[in-house]
């Protein structure tokens, strides 16, 4: 069955006329779901034919001609590619029975489309695009601020560039994204959420969220600091750094509210064994004990040979201040595990000197 602007043409050469036109074919008017429709007649070869037609036309053209919108949650996964599940089933129904279905003819989701495709041996994935993180909103807010606190259109080159940058796996793993993930339209909508949340905006607000307003308030209150953070995040994403660092039980989890690109990069850099060995060797060359620079704890004195050269390495300046740069030994401090956890325990992080003052006052 071949899709065209005005008709469905099944492979048996029988033509099924529709009420097609500029908006695509419609076999019935957009009224309640067609009675008596069953998906049980759909066969695996029919689904494969739908997949082939999808590939031939491309996603947007296939959906337009078949009479479907884009899937929001459920996608058929086949040979590493994702397909809009309901549209595939509607086309496959026509291939199997001679009666193609459009979106208004039947309901989709986990009660209809998913079980039928699964029964035919296909994998269907639930893929809700992840919420925007603080890091992502910071980048979008920087665009809005630079645009005079006005939203940006999806066609704006700056929006397209940010959309491309947000495809980095450093924030969201690739296998957790739907086909619409952070596309230009989505980035444009986020700039609208931020722009309409501005205190001086007098029009109708969009459906933004608490985190949009928090980031906006931060930009208004501390513009220089937030621009530095945005620049550091951009640099980290553009560098295509590995996305994760091992978990730290005493550092707040970089959830959607916290972001985490710079935190993960900071922790990974601190745990680099080459950097740690170089700092220890430098301390020994200068005749310094391998002991905590804050509290003076010496693992070797307490634990003997087992504690020799056991110490953690801390970067004195957070990445949102320095940006991703080449680490110098002078940027590092050798500190014990307890002091290291105390530095990272709450935001903003304490400096080495600030924690020393805390201990002296206690």
Q: Is the pLDDT score of 306 beyond 80?
A: yes
- Orientation angle between helical segments 184-196 and 157-165, nearest 10 degrees: 110
Distance from C-alpha of 97 to C-alpha of 77, rounded to nearest angstrom: 24
Average per-residue pLDDT in the chain? 82
Return the pLDDT at 245: 42
Q: Is the pLDDT score of 307 beyond 90?
A: yes
Q: Is the pLDDT score of 5 beyond 90?
A: no
Range 87-96 average pLDDT: 95
Residue 44, phi-psi category: left (phi > 0), alpha (psi -120 to 50), beta (remainder) = alpha
Range 203-228 average pLDDT: 92
Contact at 8 Å (CB) between 244 and 295?
no
Range 285-309 average pLDDT: 94
Number of neighbours of residue 236 by Cβ within 10 angstroms: 23
Q: How far apart are the first and last CA of the chain?
A: 79
Range 309-335 average pLDDT: 78
Return the pLDDT at 330: 87
Residues 125-160 pLDDT 10s: 988 888 898 999 999 999 999 999 999 999 999 999
Q: Is the pLDDT score of 229 beyond 90?
A: no
Return the pLDDT at 168: 84
Residues 243-281 pLDDT 10s: 444 444 444 444 333 446 666 666 666 667 888 899 999
Range 280-290 average pLDDT: 93
Phi, psi of 18 (to 5 degrees): -130, 180
Report CA-CA distances (Å) from 44 to 89, 117, 119, 309, 314: 10, 8, 9, 63, 57
Pure H helices in 58-109: 59-66, 85-97
Q: Is the pLDDT score of 36 beyond 50?
A: yes
Return the pLDDT at 252: 45
Return the pLDDT at 339: 94
Which of 30-34, 91-95, 329-333: highest mean pLDDT?
A: 91-95
Q: Is the pLDDT score of 340 beyond 50?
A: yes
pTM, to two decimals = 0.57
pLDDT confidence band for 26 (50 / 70 / 90): very low
Range 58-79 average pLDDT: 92
Q: Is the pLDDT score of 111 beyond 70?
A: yes
Return the pLDDT at 321: 53
The percentage of residues in the chain with a pLDDT greater than 70, rounded to a whole number, is: 79
Range 197-201 average pLDDT: 95
Return the pLDDT at 244: 46
Distance from C-alpha of 37 to C-alpha of 89, rounded to nearest angstrom: 12
Q: Is the pLDDT score of 328 beyond 70?
A: yes
pLDDT confidence band for 329 (50 / 70 / 90): confident
Q: Is the pLDDT score of 163 beyond 50?
A: yes
Range 313-330 average pLDDT: 70
Q: Is the pLDDT score of 22 beyond 90?
A: no
pLDDT confidence band for 349 (50 / 70 / 90): confident
Q: Is the pLDDT score of 162 beyond 90?
A: yes
């Amino acid at each position: 069955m071949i899709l065209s602007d005005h008709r469905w043409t099944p492979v048996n050469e029988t033509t099924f006329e529709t009420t097609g036109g500029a908006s695509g074919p419609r076999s019935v008017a957009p009224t309640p779901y067609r009675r008596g429709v069953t998906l049980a007649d759909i066969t695996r070869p029919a689904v494969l034919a739908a997949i082939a037609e999808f590939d031939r036309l491309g996603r947007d053209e296939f959906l337009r001609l078949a009479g479907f919108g884009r899937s929001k949650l459920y996608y058929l996964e086949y040979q590493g590619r994702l397909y809009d599940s309901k549209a595939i089933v509607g086309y496959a129904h026509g291939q199997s029975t001679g009666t193609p279905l459009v979106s208004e003819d039947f309901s989709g989701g986990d009660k209809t489309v998913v079980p039928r495709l699964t029964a035919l041996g296909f994998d269907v994935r639930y893929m809700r695009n992840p919420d925007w993180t603080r890091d992502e909103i910071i980048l979008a807010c920087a665009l809005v601020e630079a645009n005079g606190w006005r939203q940006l259109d999806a066609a704006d080159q700056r929006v397209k560039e940010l959309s491309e940058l947000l495809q980095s796996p450093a924030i969201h793993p690739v296998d957790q994204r739907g086909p619409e993930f952070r596309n230009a339209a989505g980035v444009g909508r986020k700039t609208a959420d931020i722009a309409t949340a501005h205190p001086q905006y007098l029009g109708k607000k969009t459906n933004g969220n608490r985190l949009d307003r928090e980031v906006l308030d931060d930009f208004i209150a501390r513009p220089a600091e937030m621009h530095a953070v945005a620049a550091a995040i951009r640099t980290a994403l553009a560098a295509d750094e590995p996305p994760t660092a091992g978990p730290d039980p005493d550092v707040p989890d970089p959830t959607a509210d916290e972001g985490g690109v710079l935190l993960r990069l900071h922790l990974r850099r601190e745990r680099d064994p080459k950097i740690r060995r170089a700092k220890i060797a430098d301390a020994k060359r200068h005749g310094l004990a391998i002991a905590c620079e804050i509290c003076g704890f010496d693992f070797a004195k307490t634990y003997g040979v087992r504690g020799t050269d056991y110490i953690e390495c801390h970067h004195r300046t957070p990445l949102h201040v320095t940006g991703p740069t080449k680490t110098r030994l002078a940027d590092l401090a050798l500190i014990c595990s307890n002091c290291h956890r105390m530095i990272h325990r709450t935001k903003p992080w304490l400096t080495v000197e600030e924690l020393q003052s805390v201990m002296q006052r206690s």
